[in-house]
Chains A and B, each alone.
Chain A
Amino acid sequence: MSKIDEVRDYELFIGPNHPGISGNFSFKMKLQGDKILSAKTDAGYLHRGFEKLMEERLFIQNIAIVCRICVPDPDPNENNYARAIEEIAGIEVPERAKWIRTLVLELSRLASYLFGIGGHVATTGLYAFSNWTIADRDRIMELFEELTGGRVYHIYQLPGGVRRDFPDGFERRVLEVMDYIESRLGDYDDLAINNALFIKRATGIGVITKEQAIKWGVTGPNLRACGVAADVRKDDPYEVYDKVDFEIPTRTEGDAYARTIVRRKEIEQSISIVRQIIDKIPAGPVWNKIPNPLKWKVPAGDAYVRTESSKGEYAYYMVSDGGRNPYRVHVRGASTTHGVHVLENLLAGSRIEDASQIMFSLDACPPEVDR
């Protein structure tokens, strides 16, 4: 090896406390100057063994665990968990509870998108934008606090429905927050989305073609940015997504910028869904009583339930052997593909200054990978 090769080629470890990494995650990279030759993800810093813990706890106890699997977007976990039990045990959910769940899922999606886009734009140096989106996200956290008592984790969707009904005047405050966020979208566009600097940094970065996306198992907004109009909410509808109107925004470029645009457009769709829910939500009970949860055996059976989380396809495979605890719960997070081999594929050949941006543009969520 010549002297110049020795200086030029090196290995680098990035993470888990690096500000450009979303969460407890790291990479081992081989670099040549600024160019990444190969990258290997290194996870496990947040492994809590939730799947194992769930097997040793009662069905009802696990609701407090599942939401912690994905911090920025916890509600798809609760929804999957509740729906899996309902499918196995044949529990009916009251109509109003389904509408409330859909509302909660959309609010969670909005909060997660604001967080995600803010984080992505910040990796290009525009920190002001992330401060805005995180401050605006807080308005949604306040709604959650009012509805569920929790800001980040809600522990709200029980098998058989939801924990409690809207507080007085909640509908009005939801609409106010929606109006507020909608009024901010123009500012977002001016500061970040249409900012020449951001466009230049994000265009052509981390490009995934349509064929690659299908082959690599890309889902969610990342897939829609490659020109595939697939969305679990439309294709495999759950709760009341077949009763509300919304569009699936797509782009064809497949790069980091296209992924941001898709998320930005989905914010509008989510606001529209929330308004439709407030408009159409029927009156009625919100919970069908289940047997005493401390002495509750769920009949034997299995179910594979899917939701569209803000990160992509989110699925649970639950098996019950007829006992008091779930026999097996397998969590399939969207980030198990995006955060591992999709990211490894995209990082190889890109430049070191884009590594953080590529990770944030995929919206990979490390706690999902670790579980």
Chain B
Amino acid sequence: MTPVSSKLYTDDVSLLVVLIDTNPFFWNSVKSNLPFSKFISHVLAFLNSILLVNQQNQVVVLATGHNSCDYVFDSSVAQSQNQRAEHLLQKLEEFVDKDESLCREESVDGQGFSLLSGSLSMALCYIQRVFRSGPLHPHPRILCLHGSPDGPGQYVAIMNSIFSAQRSMVPIDACVIGTQHSAFLQQASYITGGVYLKPQLLDGLFQYLSTVFATDLHSRAFLQLPKPAGVDFRASCFCHKNTIDMGYICSVCLSIFCKHQKKCSTCGSVFGQAQAQDSSTPPNPNPKRKTPMDA
């Protein structure tokens, strides 16, 4: 007889939250490489395969747009099995239209970025709801299929989501389909123990997804998954949202600034007393080295 444990699900039951980048600026720029239609067919096949391997697996898809993000698919909501794809595509189209209509108004932060912080938070909220639904829940993980460049303005929000994912032990996997590496997602997978991968050949996206990202958390303990070559730990400053190598850190609340400030804009601590007392020292003696943000 099998021993009893509080965990009633088998180890390989997973809840996969997939964040799809639907930023039109990005997809317009990489048209030649992997058109969105092809990309989505790879993703649909991947989602089908996740649902295929275990009856209890659950997939939630979130679209990350330029101005908004929304749930476009949830496999736990009852629907006919053979209309999954139609359902998803229809919702996705509605979402893109809505996103576009928002775009005509004021943009959130500059051109070309997508709202990763928003969709990450929504994914975590969903997972929290699953956690609180009772003692019976599958193992959740997040997969970001992201292509747009990092929006430095979202730095704080994204870092906060990463840390809350770390706290609730939710790994964030990242598959970067853009041309550049994403520092945010590198940090996200590094901190949460997920996998970061930037596929070389985008034509075979499904193969990458099925070999690397379809691996459930239980099997990951026995497998050698791709490890990042290096992680870009650079942070963005809180004042101008620039990515910086060196900067100033508030000794009270650890806010980051690119220039010397008189008062911390986050916690209101007043800096520079030492300099005021001793005017002979130069105003900028040694900018503090920013420490890596690993926890």
- Tell whether A and B belong to one assembly: no
Which residues of A approach B to under 8 Å, CB–CB?
none
